[in-house]
DNA sequence: GATGAATGAGTGTTCATTCAT
DNA sequence: TATGAATGAACACTCATTCAT
C-alpha cells in the first residue's frame, strides 16, 4: 500500500473511529453527518467520498465492529463447553465494549429492515453456539430439559434489555458488570436439572 | 367545568387520541407535530396551546395510556395468586394493545431521562405484584428459590425484546400471541422447584 | 377573504413575483430556492409552505403567466381574420413580456416532460387559431396552398429561435421589435398566392 | 511531437471523445466532470490538467465538432448550386449526428456569451453559403425576391426548434428525418417565384 | 504528466416552535 | 381559545476545483 492508499485508509478509519465514538455517546441516528465529519477532523463532503450515504456508514461501522466481536466469540466457543463459563466470558466481551452494545441495543429496533436482519443474523450465530453447548449438557443430564430456543431468547432478551436501558440501571459504570452475577445465576436456575 | 373548559378538554383529548393512533402506527419520534395536529383535526398551532412542546405531549400520552393499563393490571392482581395465570393475563392485556407496547418498547430507550424514569416506574409497580405472588409461592414451596428481581428482569426483558423487535419475529399478527406459550413455559421452568 | 387569507395570498404573490423576476433575469433552473425566497423577502422555509417543491413553483409560475397570455390572445383572435394583423398583434403581446418568453424559450427544452407538454399544449392552442385564419384565407384564394402545419412550425420555430438567442441578436431592447417586420414579411412571402 | 506530447494529446482526445458521447446522451451542463473523467478512463484531476475548467472543455469539444461539421458542409457547397439539394444534404449531415445537434440546440441558449458567439459564428458561415446560392437563384429568377437573411432565419430557426424539442416531436428515431420533407417543401414554397 | 483524495460552498427540503390574527 | 402562516436552523447529499503524492 502506497502513501496515497494509506492516507485514504487513514481518513476512512478516522471517520469510522469518530462515528464509533459518537455512536457510543449518543447514537448515530440522531447525529448529523456534518458532526461526524467534524469529529473526524475532515470536511463534510469528504465523508461522502468514503461512504455513498449515511446508511452505508452505519452498516460498515456495525459490520466491522460486530465482525471483531464475532471473532472473539468464536475463539471462546472452541475453548469451553460449560455454559456458565461461556456466558461469563460472553458478558465480559460485551462489557469490554458496553457503550457500543448499549447504543446498538437502543437503535437496533429503529434500523431499516436489511440492517436489522444483518445484525440479528450475527446474533443468531452466537445463539447457535450456546444452543449446542446447552444441548450437550441436556444429553448428559447436566441441564434440565428446557426448550433451548426459548431459554436463549430469555437470555439474549434480558441482556438486550439491560443494555438498551443501561442509563436507567446504572448511573455510571457497567450494567453488565453489575448484573452479571444475577444473569448467570438465573440462567443456572433455569438450566438446573430436576433432581 | 364550564363550557370553555370542557371545549379545551375535548380538544386536548382529540390530540391525545390522534397521537396515540399515530404512536401505534409508526411511533411518535419520527412523526411531525403537524401530522399529529392534522390527524386530530386541529390547527398545528393549537397543539402547542395544549402542550408546551412535543416532548410533553409524548409524556402525557404515555402517562395516560400506561395509567389505564396499570389499572387493568391491578384488578387482575387482586383476583389471582397463580403466577402462570397472572402472566397469561398480563400477556393478554399487552397483546390487546400490542401496537402500542411495541412502539413503546422501540422508543423507550430514546426518551429523555425523566420520561423513561416515569415509564419504568410504572413497570416497577407491575413487577412488584409479580414479586409478591412469586414470593408467596416460594414460601409455600410451590416455586424454586430463585432471586425474584432477577427472574422478573428476565421476564420483562424478554417481553420487551419480543415487542421491540416485533417486525423481525412476525411478519404480521401478534408476537405476544405467537410466543406466549414459550414465555409461560420458560417462566415455569425457571420457577420449577427442586424436587 | 379575511386578513389572514389576504396575507397568505400576498406572500404567495410575492414569491411568484420574485420568481418571475428572477426567471426573466436568469432563468429559474439555475436559481436556488433560497435566492428566490430572499428576493421575495421571506424565509427560505416559507417558500415550501406555499409550494411543495421547486418544480411546482415553476409549474405554477408558468401556468399563471401563460394563462394570462392565452386570454390576451383569445380576445385578439375573435377580433381579427387577417393573418398579418393577427401575427402583428401576437408579436406585440410577446414583446410586452419578452423577458419572460425569452427565458421560457431558453429553458423549455430542459423542463421535465410533463411541464414541457403542458406548455407546448398551450402553444398548440394558439397555433390552432392561426391555422383557422390561414385555412380560410386559402379557401378564399387570398393565400397560397401551403401546408399549414409546416408553415406554422416555421413561424413558431423562428420566433422561438429569436427569443431563445435574444442576447445574441440584440445587445439591449427587444428582439421581437427588431425582427417583427422581417417575420411578418417572410410569412407574407410564404403565404403569397401564385398569381 | 515527442512521446510525452503524444501521450498528452492522446489523453486529451480521450476526454473529448468521452465528453462528446455524454454530450450526445444527456448534455454536458447536467453532467459532473467526474463522470466525464470516468467515461474517459482517466482520473478526475487529469481532466483539469488538460482543461482549466469545465467550460473550456465544452468550448473545445464544440469547436472541434463544429469544425468537422463545417468542413463537410463546405465541400457540399462547392458541389451544388441548388438550394433544395443543398438543404437536403445539409439536413442529412445534421441527421447523421442528430444526437449531437439536438443537445447543442438545447444547451446553446444557456452557454456563456463567448461560446455562444463562437457557435453562432460557425452557423453564420453556413448561412452565408445558403445566402449565396439563393442570391444567385433570385438573380436568375428561379426564386422569389425574398429577404434572404429573414428567410434563412426561418430555416435555421425551424431546424433549431425541431432539434431542441426533439423528444416532444418524436418518441424515438430522427426528428430531422421525419420533418425533412416538410422543411424542404416549405422552403420551396417560400422561394417560389411569383409567376 | 497523471492521480485521486480532499475541499467547502451550495442544493432542495423538513420541522418544532412562535405569534399576529 | 383557536388558527395557520411564518420562521430559520438543520438535514443528507453534490460537485467543480485544488494539490500533495
Domains assigned to chain C: 1-52 (1.10.10.60), 54-191 (1.10.357.10)
| pTM for this prediction | 0.91
* Number of other CB atoms surrounding residue C63 within 10 Å: 14
How far apart (Å, rounded) are the C-alpha atoms in residues B61 and D25? 56
User: Any idea which of A33-37, B67-71, D149-153 has the lowest mean pLDDT?
Assistant: B67-71
Structure-block grid coordinates of residue B132:
409478591
Dihedral (Cα; D2, D5, D7, D10), 10-degree rounding: -120
Structure-block grid coordinates of residue A27:
447514537
Q: What is the pLDDT of residue C194?
A: 59
CB burial of residue D68 (10 Å; 0-12, 13-18, 19+): exposed
Asked if residue A48 has pLDDT above 80, the reply is yes
Give all chains having 3 or more CB-to-CB distances under 8 Å with chain D. Answer: C
Find the residue in B nearest to A148 (Cα): B186
Q: In chain E, which nucleotides are within 7 Å of a protein Cβ?
A: 1-21
Q: What is the pLDDT of residue C187?
A: 94
How far apart (Å, rounded) are the C-alpha atoms in residues C187 and C101? 21
A157 touches chain B (CB under 8 A): yes
Concatenate the DSSP letters of all residues of A41-94 into one string.
Answer: TS-HHHHHHHSSSHHHHHHHHHHHHHHHHHHHHHHHHHH---HHHHHHHHHHHH
From the centroid of its chain, how far is CA B111?
14
Å between CA of C48 and C1' of E13 = 8
Residue of B157, B164, B182, B195 to mutate when probing chain A, most A C-beta within 10 A: B157
Asked if residue A169 has pLDDT above 80, the reply is yes
Å between CA of D72 and C1' of E2 = 36
Terminal Cα distance for chain A, rounded:
63
Handedness of CA D47, D52, D58, D59 (dihedral sign): negative
C101-122 residue pLDDT tens: 999 999 999 999 989 999 999 9
D28-49 residue pLDDT tens: 999 999 999 999 999 999 999 9
Query: To the nearest whole number, what is the mean pLDDT of chain C?
Result: 93
Structure-block grid coordinates of residue D105:
440546440
Asked if residue A194 has pLDDT above 70, the reply is no
Structure-block grid coordinates of residue C103:
427565458
Percent of chain D's residues with pLDDT above 90: 75
* φ, ψ at D19 (rounded to 5°): -60, -40
Give all chains having 3 or more CB-to-CB distances under 8 Å with chain C. Answer: D
Asked if residue A49 has pLDDT above 90, the reply is yes
Q: What is the CA radius of gyration of chain B?
A: 19
Q: What is the pLDDT of residue D1?
A: 55
C169 touches chain D (CB under 8 A): no
Amino acid at each position: 500500500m502506497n502513501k496515497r492508499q494509506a492516507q485514504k485508509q487513514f481518513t476512512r478509519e478516522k471517520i469510522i473511529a469518530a462515528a464509533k465514538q459518537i455512536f457510543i455517546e449518543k447514537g448515530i441516528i440522531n447525529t448529523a453527518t456534518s458532526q461526524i465529519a467534524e469529529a473526524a477532523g475532515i470536511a463534510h463532503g469528504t465523508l461522502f467520498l468514503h461512504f455513498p450515504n449515511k446508511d452505508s456508514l452505519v452498516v460498515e461501522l456495525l459490520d466491522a465492529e460486530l465482525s471483531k466481536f464475532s471473532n472473539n466469540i468464536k475463539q471462546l466457543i472452541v475453548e469451553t463447553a460449560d455454559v456458565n463459563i461461556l456466558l461469563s466470558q460472553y458478558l465480559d466481551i460485551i462489557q469490554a465494549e458496553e457503550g457500543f452494545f448499549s447504543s446498538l441495543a437502543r437503535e437496533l429496533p429503529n434500523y431499516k429492515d436489511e440492517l436489522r436482519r444483518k445484525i440479528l443474523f450475527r446474533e443468531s450465530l452466537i445463539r447457535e453456539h450456546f444452543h449446542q453447548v446447552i444441548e450437550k449438557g441436556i444429553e448428559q443430564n447436566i441441564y434440565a430439559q428446557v426448550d433451548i430456543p426459548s431459554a436463549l431468547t430469555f437470555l439474549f432478551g434480558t441482556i438486550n434489555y439491560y443494555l438498551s436501558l443501561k442509563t436507567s440501571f446504572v448511573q455510571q459504570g457497567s450494567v453488565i458488570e453489575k448484573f452479571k452475577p444475577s444473569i448467570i445465576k438465573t440462567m443456572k436456575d433455569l438450566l438446573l436439572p430436576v433432581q
